[in-house]
């Protein structure tokens, strides 16, 4: 894409009303736009990052047998009445302009909706197990919507639900999801810590979170420096220096961002919606469920919190909006056009800074702020060497690559 075709522009100053690094850099770079507190637009560059994250999530969900679907955001009162969650403060109510009372809550989770749907189809143990997921916009009226993409009132979430004939089968799948989640975060450039957490609204037993260590994190966790066992401080009696209950290693306190969570739901929802099946012995029993969430915007925000420097974002290649940022300088426009077409034609993802009203310094600053993994610079000087300058966003030094070899960049 040519920068001249992108309607957004970068900003030199941090937005005054943002205190988190992810919001500051993402707004300055033209990735997101703040419409209201906790409500953001994904601008073209930001949308590309979300699409990359969504693609990774879909691949890993499909690998563990998840089938994709899409449930509505308008969740009728009867669904939440069945589990006594209609009055939960976190919900946004929705009603027609002419209506006196709200008939809908904006979905902040979809256990009820999917359990009702599944109850219309499932009859026998032969129909189990299965898992279904969606990537959907969700709504929660967060009082503390001050951390950019980390805590939104409107946000994109992948929610997976699994259905089993026994607790045993649930736990087997629960473990598969855990591994898939660790792969997803790793592929996005995040090392997530699997953390024992409280039950929350969903279930009485322990749940598990995926925590990314970052100073901005709202969660406090205790992590064993020896075996990696971790507990959320909300449920933990541990403190820094205590011995890890698993291996005796030392527990360390850390601030972290919760990027995903998984919940063993048991039969809470299947009982509320009479989701039963006939087991092998010919008897009726309630389906055992699990639910599993990942925030896409929160994952994107966490990547920025972890991968940046004073000059801007340093995107991991897997989720970068473009792999290559091409800068044309003094008198090298024609050659830059050619390289752009060549890389584009070769299937490369390239953002071309073709603006002619910007100085070299402005272009370098924008390249660093936007943070694509590779920066190419072509100028009269590099052309003397029949070369283009290549620099990794993560490194300080650049090197020259012969013009005849630019397609080698596609292999990186």
> Where does this chain bind a copy of itself (CB under 8 A)?
1, 4-9, 30, 33, 35-36, 39-44, 46-47, 50, 65, 67-76, 87-99, 103-104, 106, 113, 117-118, 120-122, 126-127, 130, 132, 137, 139, 141, 153-154, 163, 357
Residues 23, 305: Cα–Cα separation, whole Å: 9
Which of 69, 380 has the CB closer to a copy of itself?
Answer: 69
Least Cβ distance, residue 157 to a copy of itself (angstroms): 13
Shorter beta-carbon distance to a copy of itself: residue 115 or 211:
115
Least Å distance, CB 34 to a copy of itself, is 10
Distance CA 258, CA 236 (A): 16
- Asked if 52 contacts 339 with a C-beta cutoff of 8 angstroms, the reply is no
393-to-119, 201, 316, 317, 366 alpha-carbon distances in Å = 51, 43, 10, 10, 12
Strands in 374-378's sheet, in edge-to-edge order, are 350-353, 324-328, 374-378, 387-392, 398-402
Query: Residue 283 and residue 288: Cα distance in Å, rounded?
Result: 15
**What count of other Cβ atoms lies within 10 Å of the Cβ of residue 172?**
12
State the nearest-atom distance from the C-beta of 80 to a copy of itself, in Å. Answer: 11
Measured from the CB atom, the residue of 162 and 195 that comes closer to a copy of itself is: 162
- Structure-block tokens of residue 379: 């100028």
State residue 279 phi and psi, 5-degree precision: -80, 180
Return the number of the residue (40 or 210) whose C-beta is nearest a copy of itself.
Answer: 40
Q: How far is residue 246's CA from residue 260's CA, in Å, rounded to a whole number?
A: 23
Report the nearest approach of a copy of itself to the CB of residue 234 (Å): 23
Distances (CA, A) of 208 to 90, 155, 226, 375: 21, 21, 20, 39
In the complex, what is the shortest distance from the CB of residue 46 to a copy of itself, in angstroms, rounded to a whole number? 8
d(CA 322, CA 100): 48
Least CB distance from residue 149 to a copy of itself, whole Å?
Answer: 12
- The pair of three-digit structure tokens given for residue 335, joined into one six-digit string: 């050659």
Q: What are phi and psi of 24, to 5 degrees?
A: -60, -50
CB of 101 to a copy of itself, least distance (A): 12
Of 130 and 286, which CB lies nearer to a copy of itself in the complex structure? 130
Q: Which residue blocks in 127-258 are alpha helix, DSSP H?
A: 167-187
Q: Rank residues 5 and 16 by Cβ distance to a copy of itself and give the closer one.
A: 5
For residues 134 and 382, which CB has a smaller minimum distance to a copy of itself in the complex?
134
- Could you tell me the two tokens for 20? 């988190």
| Closest separation in Å from C-beta 69 to a copy of itself | 5
CB of 35 to a copy of itself, least distance (A): 5
- Decide whether 126 or 246 has the Cβ nearer to a copy of itself: 126
Question: Would you state the structure tokens that stand for residue 99, as one six-digit string?
Answer: 């209506």
Measured from the CB atom, is 87 or 280 closer to a copy of itself? Answer: 87
Nearest distance, CB of residue 249 and a copy of itself, angstroms: 42
Distances (CA, A) of 19 to 37, 141, 148, 149, 348: 12, 20, 8, 12, 35
Residue closer to a copy of itself, measured from CB, 121 or 411: 121
Residue pair 382/367 in contact by the 8 Å Cβ criterion: no
């Amino acid at each position: 894409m040519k920068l001249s075709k992108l309607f957004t522009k970068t900003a030199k100053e941090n937005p005054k009303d943002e205190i988190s690094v992810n919001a500051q850099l993402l707004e300055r770079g033209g990735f997101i736009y703040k419409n209201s507190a906790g409500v953001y637009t994904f601008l073209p560059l930001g949308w590309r990052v979300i699409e990359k994250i969504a693609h990774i999530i879909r691949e890993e969900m499909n690998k563990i047998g998840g089938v994709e679907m899409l449930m509505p955001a308008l969740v009728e009162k009867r669904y939440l009445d069945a589990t006594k969650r209609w009055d939960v403060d976190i919900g946004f109510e929705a009603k027609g302009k002419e209506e006196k009372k709200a008939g809908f809550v904006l979905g902040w989770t979809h256990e009820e909706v999917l359990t009702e749907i599944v109850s219309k189809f499932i009859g026998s143990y032969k129909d189990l197990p299965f898992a279904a997921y969606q990537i959907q916009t969700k709504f929660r009226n967060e009082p503390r919507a001050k951390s950019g993409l980390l805590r939104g009132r409107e946000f994109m979430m992948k929610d997976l639900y699994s259905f089993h004939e026994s607790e045993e089968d649930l736990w087997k799948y629960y473990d598969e999801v855990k591994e898939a989640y660790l792969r997803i975060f790793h592929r996005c450039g995040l090392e997530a810590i699997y953390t024992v957490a409280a039950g929350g609204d969903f279930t009485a037993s322990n749940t598990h979170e995926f925590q990314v260590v970052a100073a901005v994190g709202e969660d406090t966790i205790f992590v064993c420096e020896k075996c990696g066992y971790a507990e959320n401080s909300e449920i933990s009696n541990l403190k820094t220096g205590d011995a890890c209950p698993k291996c005796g290693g030392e527990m360390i306190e850390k601030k972290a961002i919760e990027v995903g969570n998984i919940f063993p739901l048991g039969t809470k929802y299947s009982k509320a919606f009479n989701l039963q099946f006939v087991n092998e012995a010919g008897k009726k029993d309630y389906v055992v469920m699990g639910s599993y969430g990942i925030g896409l915007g929160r994952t994107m925000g966490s990547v920025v919190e972890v991968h940046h420097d004073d000059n801007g974002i340093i995107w991991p290649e897997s989720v970068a909006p473009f792999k290559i940022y091409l800068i044309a300088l003094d008198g090298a426009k024609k050659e830059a056009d050619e390289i752009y077409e060549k890389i584009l034609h070769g299937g490369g993802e390239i953002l071309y800074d073709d603006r002619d009203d910007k100085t070299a310094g402005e272009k370098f600053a924008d390249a660093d702020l936007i943070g694509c993994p590779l920066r190419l610079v072509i100028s009269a000087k590099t052309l003397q060497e029949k070369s283009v300058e290549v620099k990794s966003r993560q490194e300080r030094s650049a090197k020259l690559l012969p013009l005849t070899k630019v397609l080698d960049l596609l292999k990186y």
